[in-house]
Amino acid sequence: MSDIGAIVRDIAREMAAVAQRGRVADYIPPLAEVDPARFGIAVVEADGACHLAGDADMPFSIQSVSKVFSLTLALGKVGDALWQRVGREPSGSAFNSIVQLETESGIPRNPFINAGAIVVSDVVLAGHQPREAIAEILRFTRALAGDDAIFVDEHVAQAEQGTGFRNAALANYMRAFGNLRHPVEQALGVYFHQCAIAMSCRQLALAGRYLMLAGRSPATGGSVISAARARRINALMMTCGHYDGSGEFAYRVGLPGKSGVGGGILAIAPARASIAVWSPGLNERGNSEIGTIALERLVQRTGWSVFGPSY
C-alpha cells in the first residue's frame, strides 16, 4: 500500500510551513521557553518498522501523555476496583476543572483529567514512598520504550510543584471526600514528576506499542496487560484523551489519542501503528495545534481511522 516513510516525511515538511502554530503553555514556566517552531513525528508499525521525521529525537515534556502509563500501572495493581474511585465518562470540561467534583462527590469523571490522574497517582503510591512510586512509573515507561535514557526533568517537576495551585485545590477537595488515601503533597509529588517525564517522539511511539498490539510489548517480549485492558484503555483515550476537545479529535483524526500540554500526542491505530507527534503550540483546549493537523493528514493518507477509510 502507501509508503508510510514518505508520508511521514511529507507531513513534517508541510507542518514546518504552517504559520498558525497555537500558543505554548505558559502556566508551567519551563514549557513557555520551548520553541513553537519545533515539530516531530514518529510512526512505529506493527511489524516494527519505524519512520521518523522532523525533531523526532528531541525530548520534550510529555505532561498528560504520562497518564496513559500511570493508568496502565494502576490497573495492574488494583484491577477494576479502580473504577470505584474514578469514572469512565468524558467530562466535557477543561483538564483542570473542579466543577464536577462537588456534585459527583469527589469522584473524577475519568482518569485523564487532572483530578482523575491524581487519584491514579494515589493508587500507584500504595505501599511505597513517593520516590519509589515515581521510580516505578519511570521504570515502567523505560521498559515499554526499551530505552533507559528516558528521564524525569526535575526542573519541570519543581516548576509544577511551585505553580500547581489548581492541582493542589483538586487534590485537597478529593481528600475531603476520602478519595485520596495519602497526604495531598505525596499524591501531587508523584503526579508532578510523572508529568515531568521527558521523551522524544521515537521513545513515545515505542512505549505505546502495547496499545496497538493487544497488550503485548516487543520491548519486554511479553504481555504488559491483557488484550481486553488494552482495548479499554484505547476506548478511554478516544473518549477522554483530549478533554473537552475529545469529540473534535475523534471527528478529525478518529484514533485513540492522549495529549499533553507539552504539545505531545500519542495516538494508536490498533494493529497498525503507534504514533507520536510533538509541536509545542496548543489550541484553546490545551491540545497540540500542529500535532492534531499532522495526525489528521496521516490518517487521511493511510486510511487508519478506526471509523473507516478516507477515500
Select from 160, 244, 289, 296 the one that contacts ligand GLN (CB under 6 A).
Answer: 160
Q: Looking only at residues 251 through 280 of this chain, which bind ligand GLN when binding is defined by CB under 6 A?
A: 260-261
45 binds ligand GLN (CB under 6 A): no
Nearer to ligand GLN, 95 or 140 (CB): 95
CB of 192 to ligand GLN, least distance (A): 7
64 binds ligand GLN (CB under 6 A): yes
By CB under 6 A, the count of residues binding ligand GLN is 11
- Of 61, 64, 246, 279, the catalytic one is 64
Residue 119 is among the residues annotated as catalytic for this protein: no
159 binds ligand GLN (CB under 6 A): no
CB of 176 to ligand GLN, least distance (A): 20
- Of 152, 191, 200, 259, the catalytic one is 191
Nearer to ligand GLN, 25 or 293 (CB): 25
- Of 34, 119, 261, 299, the catalytic one is 261
CB of 71 to ligand GLN, least distance (A): 14
φ, ψ of residue 88 in degrees (nearest 5): -135, 30
63 binds ligand GLN (CB under 6 A): yes
Provide the binding-site residues for ligand GLN, judged by CB under 6 A.
63-64, 95-96, 114, 160, 167, 195, 260-261, 286
Q: Point out the residues that are catalytic.
A: 64, 67, 191, 243, 261
